[in-house]
Amino acid sequence: MLRWSSRLAIGVEEIDAQHRELFEHINTLLEACSRRRGEEAIFEVIDFLDVYIADHFGTEEGLMRRHSYPDYHSHRAQHAKFAAEFSELKRRLKSGRISAVVIPTNRLLVDWWINHISRSDRELGDFLKSRL
């Protein structure tokens, strides 16, 4: 299970609230997988992520543009790479290879988000806190 902790908070409440919501949905998927119901839960999480990715990345990128974040292009490229990997997972899911996608989905959702929040979003948070 993913545990939200203060060490993951970046200090910008709008973004932190979105991250907490994301963790709740990822935990739903991880719990379902541990109970061997991952195939059922994965589609619910995928549907949520379709909307979440656009909203969350849009929020961050809008803040970066408004406040002239110097690392905007690099951070945005990370978002684009994740979105491309996510699109590939969706394609594989739709092709019916669910069991082959559950582990890579968990890796992408857990590892990528923890690393992204801990590094890139923390840097963004530090910058935004100095501007807000």
Q: Which residue has the tokens 């992204």?
A: 116
The Cα 93–Cα 70 span in angstroms is: 37
Look at the chain and report how many structural domains it folds into: 1
pLDDT, tens digit, 9 for 90 and up, residues 17-75: 999 999 998 888 777 777 766 666 777 878 888 899 999 999 999 999 999 999 999 99
DSSP designation for 8: G
CATH of the domain at 102: 1.20.120.50
Distances (CA, A) of 26 to 72, 90, 105, 116, 125: 26, 16, 10, 15, 22
**What is the domain extent for residue 77?**
12-131
Residue 3 falls within a domain, yes or no?
no
Q: What is the pLDDT of residues 69-93, one digit of tens each?
A: 999 999 999 999 999 988 988 888 7
Q: Which pTM value belongs to this model?
A: 0.85
